[in-house]
């Protein structure tokens, strides 16, 4: 009996030890990369903003803090036309960066942060697979994980240290928690995802709309409760942080590259670009209203499809963002892959491999052909187009299978074996 109890314990210890060694090696490799490749600007802004508050008591939104960040990057204050590198996240995002701000060595802090993001990318892939109930073969799983770690919209936020990877994990976690009817957890994750509010705003509106329509009051209550707690706790640190943050949000578009589809199109079509952007906003708003209304009473798969469409639409609907944030739409890719695989088997696998190659090679090729170099590689506004366009095609390709009830006896058996999809 004692041997039976000891063996699982030893196995658990070996797993923990192996994980610690692997993470240590990964962090060491990240540290060497960080020393040899300056960057991580997104992380650096918030690392220094948090550290300046902890060490000097300065607001992360202050001009003094911004000057410190600019001097760290440029060796001087930012000049006209240069990125001003100002903190624009809500103040409670500092709670996320505080453990890393304890490290005075930026390269070490960046290495640790990169390790967290790399683990999160793997987590995002695994959560998305579970969320869509996809059961890929071992070969396809390997190809898929390689794709999910190496495609452009994973590598860019990883190199820049963008917290959007963590936000993407939270959003996938929200959807999985809703599937498992763990509404309390869904509300908590949804509240914490607001560290990048512009990225999640449309998604939050949809989730709350759906939750109210389906009387999932725990989700709504926990979201607003945790969000109120975060705001109140931050207000104890800096009472007027909301006004300071609002000022930064309003000035943000002025020193950043184009942040909407309309602004991106205006680079090539000065007269028509913004009008096209507004037209796209109007069309997407109408489409979402129709799809949200139908998703109210859909089974989980139909709800999931609408959630993935919402994430894809948020990239083009006119809310300030950046192609570096597009990783949040990743569950839509996995949902499409899973439905292709389930419906067409061998043919579906060929389509998955083909689309993986197109998304991997095509987006990287567009970036490398259009990139400009400054204090860091600057992506062209054209990067606003490929992934959202591909997502709309992919999602509407599988819409019928996702939102319609089972049409064959095999589909009915599948639904019975997976009651959480109902």
Question: How is the chain split into domains, by residue range?
Answer: 35-421
In this structure, of 54-58, 262-266, 327-331, 404-408, the range with the lowest mean pLDDT score is: 404-408
d(CA 251, CA 203): 24
Q: What count of other Cβ atoms lies within 10 Å of the Cβ of residue 52? A: 21
- Per the CB < 8 A criterion, the answer to whether 334 and 172 are in contact is no
What is the per-residue pLDDT for 41? Answer: 93
Selection from 312, 356, 398 nearest residue 146 by Cα: 356
Residue 58's φ and ψ, nearest 5 degrees, are -85, 145
6 exposed, middle or buried (CB, 10 Å; 0-12, 13-18, 19+)?
A: exposed
- Per the CB < 8 A criterion, the answer to whether 173 and 165 are in contact is no
d(CA 240, CA 246): 10
Say which residue the tokens 């062209």 belong to: 380
Q: Residues 217-269: pLDDT tens digits?
A: 999 999 999 999 999 999 999 999 999 999 999 998 888 888 899 999 999 98
Residue 372 pairs in a beta bridge with 378
pLDDT exceeds 50 at position 53: yes
pLDDT exceeds 70 at position 8: no
């Amino acid at each position: 009996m004692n041997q039976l109890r000891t063996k699982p314990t030893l196995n658990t210890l070996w797993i923990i030890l192996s994980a610690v060694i692997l993470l240590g090696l990964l962090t060491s490799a990240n540290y060497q990369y960080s020393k040899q490749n300056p960057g991580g600007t997104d992380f650096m802004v918030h690392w220094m903003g948090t550290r300046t508050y902890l060490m000097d008591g300065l607001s992360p939104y202050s001009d003094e803090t911004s000057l410190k960040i600019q001097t760290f990057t440029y060796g001087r204050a930012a000049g006209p036309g240069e990125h001003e590198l100002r903190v624009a996240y809500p103040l409670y995002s500092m709670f996320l960066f505080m453990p890393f701000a304890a490290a005075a060595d930026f390269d070490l802090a960046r290495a640790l942060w990169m390790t967290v993001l790399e683990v999160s990318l793997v987590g995002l892939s695994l959560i998305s697979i579970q969320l869509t109930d996809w059961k890929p073969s071992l070969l396809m799983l390997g190809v898929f994980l390689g794709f999910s770690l190496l495609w452009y919209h994973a590598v860019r936020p990883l190199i820049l240290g963008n917290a959007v990877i963590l936000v993407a994990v939270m959003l996938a976690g929200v959807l999985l928690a809703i599937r498992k009817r763990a509404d309390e957890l869904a509300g908590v994750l949804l509240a914490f995802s607001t560290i990048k509010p512009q990225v999640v705003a449309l998604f939050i509106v949809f989730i709350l709309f759906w939750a109210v329509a389906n009387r999932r009051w725990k989700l709504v209550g926990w979201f607003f409760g945790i969000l109120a707690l975060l705001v109140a706790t931050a207000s104890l640190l800096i009472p007027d942080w909301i006004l300071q943050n609002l000022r930064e949000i309003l000035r943000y578009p002025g020193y950043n590259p184009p942040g909407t589809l309309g602004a991106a199109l205006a680079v090539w079509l000065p007269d028509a670009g913004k009008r096209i952007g507004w037209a796209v906003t109007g069309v997407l708003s109408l489409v979402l209203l129709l799809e949200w209304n139908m998703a109210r009473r859909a089974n989980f798969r139909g709800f999931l499809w609408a959630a993935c469409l919402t994430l894809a639409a948020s990239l083009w609907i006119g809310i300030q963002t950046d192609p570096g944030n597009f990783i949040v739409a990743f569950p839509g890719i996995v949902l499409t892959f899973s439905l292709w695989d389930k419906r067409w088997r061998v043919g579906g696998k060929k389509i998955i491999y083909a689309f993986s190659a197109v998304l991997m090679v095509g987006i990287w090729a567009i970036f490398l052909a259009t990139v400009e170099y400054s204090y860091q590689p600057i992506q062209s506004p054209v990067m606003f187009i490929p992934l959202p366009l591909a997502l709309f095609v992919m999602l509407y390709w599988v819409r019928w299978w996702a939102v319609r009830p089972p049409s064959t006896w095999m589909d009915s058996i599948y639904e019975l074996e997976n009651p959480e999809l109902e």
